[in-house]
Structure 1
Amino acid sequence: MLDRIKKGLVVSCQALEDEPLHSSFIMGRMAKAAAQGGAAGIRANSAQDIREIKENVELPVIGIVKRDYPDSEVYITPTLKEVDELVDAGAEMIAVDATDRVRPGGVTLEDFFSEVKRTYPAQLLMADVSTIEEARKAEELGFDCVSTTMVGYTPYTNGQKLYQNDFAILKDFIQTISVPVIAEGNILSPEMAKTCLEIGVHAVVVGGAITRPQMITKRFIDVMES
């Protein structure tokens, strides 16, 4: 799968329950549109959406399940239950929150990773991280790749953006990590995506700038009213 998405664009086709496009049917058609545009892969949320997407495209899928638990801030594929669902749906790769936060039930990332690998030894795993330290830890544990998905979305990285200071954070990732680095998070234009590739990332994931029309509309309005 990593070969198939190398130097390519992975389109994140997601719509949460409170969003206007929330529908597995719509996400399947969104993925088909992305494929027609040249996407190399799809990132999708929930087993139901992934099954629908696979009915529409032959692209590899990075699967996640976003689910809230009362005793943890981790919500991207937080427990083995979500991993079970994604394996059953046929996700080629599974992305999990690999930040430095305790998972539901007080489970550490180390124990969670070991449990997943014991249960599904051949499953490809992506680490969604927010810092260089988390990326190093994920590489040491044995994740197949790391993604910058969580930069700016943890309490200790609040306000950070991947593109700040000429993509300084992303450059640090590339210089520090040996496994493939996937750029994801606030990549808002084709030019930004190209810059990420030039810096040396393995692939680029773009979501809201392509698949969330309410966010795209708001960016237009914000600029027009400024």
Structure 2
Amino acid sequence: MTKKTELWQTLKNELIVSCQALPEEPLHSSLIMGKMAYAAKLGGAKGIRSNSVDDIREIKKTTNLPIIGIIKKVTPGCSVFITPTEEEVAALYNEGVDIIAMDATNRKRPNNQTIVEFFKTIRARYPDQLFMADCATFEEAKQAVKLGFDCIGTTLCGYTEETKGTKLPNFNLIQQLANSFDCPIIAEGGIWTPEDLKHVFECGAHTAVVGTAITRPMDITKRFVKAVKG
């Protein structure tokens, strides 16, 4: 059994927890993200999605779970910020994350490249690395499969101009992707409840990422407050 096959078997019908906190958030701390990942592991998560090399290194101290690594970098005038350039890809590769995820939408990257131009170079440079395409639409996923991404995520559905206002989780998109492609489909985005999680697997997702509903207490609190005030 290859390492790649073993990884996908480990994640089949299992939960990946996204442990992230941006600088403006109360829990922004690599130490806290390490503890969060450890708590997720104790709770039964089989994988972690993490932002930044510092957080990934701390998480590796507390868990031995597979890691989907990203680096969020904001560039003025550019809407692509999830692993946007070769610099971030190289940093994640050198850190040895299991899967590197990046924005695979049709939006232009900071250097004005398309995902087609960008990923052809990346795929050739890192032939043995697993890459996840964070997509928003079926057509973007189709393009990502053609480019040679190893798995497809619904991560950016609802977060691009084209998909703004889409009800999440987008169960129809998940099912369409699962029925159309042989590569693993990773459901991500708007999974708020255990029932949502169960349904994305019923739609054919290979694995699923849950973040805010588990690891962002400020947003969880807001949801409860909104229910009371509503």
Given the alignment, which residue of 183, 187, 190 partners 1:186? Answer: 190
Any residues of structure 2 matched to 1:129-168 within 5 Å, and which? 129-163=135-169, 167-168=171-172
Q: Match for residue 89 of structure 1? A: 95
Q: Quick one: which amino acid aligns to residue 43 of structure 2?
A: G
- Please state how far the C-alpha of 1:71 moved relative to its aligned partner: 4.3
Q: Match for residue 56 of structure 1? A: 62
Q: Match for residue 217 of structure 1? A: 221
Q: Match for residue 173 of structure 1? A: 177
Secondary structure of the 1:156 match is coil
**% same residue:** 51
Structure 2 unaligned spans of 5+: 1-6
> What is the CA–CA distance in structure 2 between the aligned matches of 1:112 and 1:2, rounded to whole Å?
25
* Residue 107 of structure 2 is aligned to residue 101 of structure 1: yes
Q: Quick one: which amino acid aligns to residue 157 of structure 1?
A: T
* Residue 52 of structure 2 is aligned to residue 46 of structure 1: yes
Q: Deviations over 1:137-177 (max 9, x none)?
A: 0001110000000000000100112336xx22222222222
- Please state how far the C-alpha of 1:111 moved relative to its aligned partner: 1.9
> What is the CA–CA distance in structure 1 between the aligned matches of 2:38 and 2:76, rounded to whole Å?
35
Q: Match for residue 121 of structure 1? A: 127
> What is the CA–CA distance in structure 2 between the aligned matches of 1:155 and 1:224, rounded to whole Å?
31
TM-score normalised to structure 1 length: 0.96
Q: Quick one: which amino acid aligns to residue 156 of structure 2?
A: M
Work out whether residues 123 and 148 of structure 2, in 8 Å CA contact, stay in contact via their aligned partners in 1. Answer: no
- Please state how far the C-alpha of 1:49 moved relative to its aligned partner: 0.4
Work out whether residues 162 and 169 of structure 1, in 8 Å CA contact, stay in contact via their aligned partners in 2. Answer: no
* Residue 79 of structure 2 is aligned to residue 73 of structure 1: yes
- Please state how far the C-alpha of 1:69 moved relative to its aligned partner: 1.4
TM-score normalised to structure 2 length: 0.95
Given the alignment, which residue of 11, 18, 43 partners 2:24? Answer: 18
Q: Deviations over 1:82-114 (max 9, x none)?
A: 011111222110000000111111112122112
Secondary structure of the 2:222 match is helix
Q: Quick one: which amino acid aligns to residue 116 of structure 1?
A: I
Work out whether residues 71 and 105 of structure 1, in 8 Å CA contact, stay in contact via their aligned partners in 2. Answer: no
- Please state how far the C-alpha of 1:14 moved relative to its aligned partner: 0.1
Q: Deviations over 1:50-75 (max 9, x none)?
A: 01000110000000000011242110
